[in-house]
Structure 1
Amino acid sequence: MKDTITYQDFIKLDIRVGEVTEATNVQNSTKLIRLLVDFGSDIGTRTILAGLAKWYAPSDFENQKFLFIVNLEPRKMAGEESQGMTLAADVDGLPKIVPAPNNLPNGTQIR
């Protein structure tokens, strides 16, 4: 288990439902998949790079809803900027992406 955090630390995370409208492998990377994610009208569309290409194909993401952290500082990876992070569970050392129910609108905040 990781160190205990306060509730105030937890509420700093902005976790949202996003729908992947396009997913492609990142050129010159064996690890990254580029996701174009629709977060609704308040946030819009963002590019998120997911280091999941070893376990998933881009088609596993397209037209699916997942949970993302949208208020992380942007990060450069493989010459591109990622504007958030995909949430994944650790199951026996393997990442399992966290789906969101289809009935939740894009941009819905998770608390």
Structure 2
Amino acid sequence: MEKIITYEDFTKVDLRIGTIIAVNDFPNARRPAYQLTIDFGDLGIKKSSAQITTQYQKAELLQKQIVAVVNFPKKQIANFMSECLVVGAVKADDVFLLHPEIKVRNGAVVS
């Protein structure tokens, strides 16, 4: 186990469900990545960069629901502004997106 955090620390992380509505190549990224556009319902549309090109084809990502942290500050990645952090499980160097088992409302809180 790494660092121990309190429950209060955990509650500061705003994890939400969103649906990927657009996927574009990201040729300016240092490592192969996609630019994702994600619908978070009442929270609006946010963009993210994800290094998942070896695990996922663009077509299979469209309309996929994912888990993301939505309360990080925006981050400039090459010529792209990332507005949220998509969450995944890491196996070796590959990232596999976390997602709900059933379709849920965009913007739903993950706890």
| Same fold at TM > 0.5 | yes
Q: How far did 1:102 drift?
A: 3.9
Contact 1:65 1:102 in 2 (8 A): no
**Residues paired across the two proteins, number:** 110
Structure 2: segments with no counterpart, 5+ residues: none
* Distance in 2 (alpha carbons) for counterparts of 1:12 and 1:48: 20
Instruction: Tell me which residue corresponds to 2:85.
Output: 85
1:61 partner amino acid: L
Q: Which moved more, 1:53-62 or 1:74-83?
A: 53-62
Q: How far did 1:51 drift?
A: 2.0
Aligned pairs for 1:13-32 within 5 A: 13-29=13-29, 30-32=31-33
Instruction: Tell me which residue corresponds to 1:11.
Output: 11
* Partner SS for 2:46: strand
Contact 2:54 2:94 in 1 (8 A): no
Instruction: Tell me which residue corresponds to 1:106.
Output: 106
Instruction: Tell me which residue corresponds to 1:58.
Output: 58
What percentage of residue pairs aligned between the two structures are identical?
Answer: 24
Instruction: Tell me which residue corresponds to 1:39.
Output: 40
Q: How far did 1:93 drift?
A: 4.5
Structure 1: segments with no counterpart, 5+ residues: none
RMSD: 1.6
**Cα 1:93–1:79, aligned 2, differ >3 Å: closer, same or farther?**
closer
Runs of 4+ in 1 over 4 A off after TM superposition: none
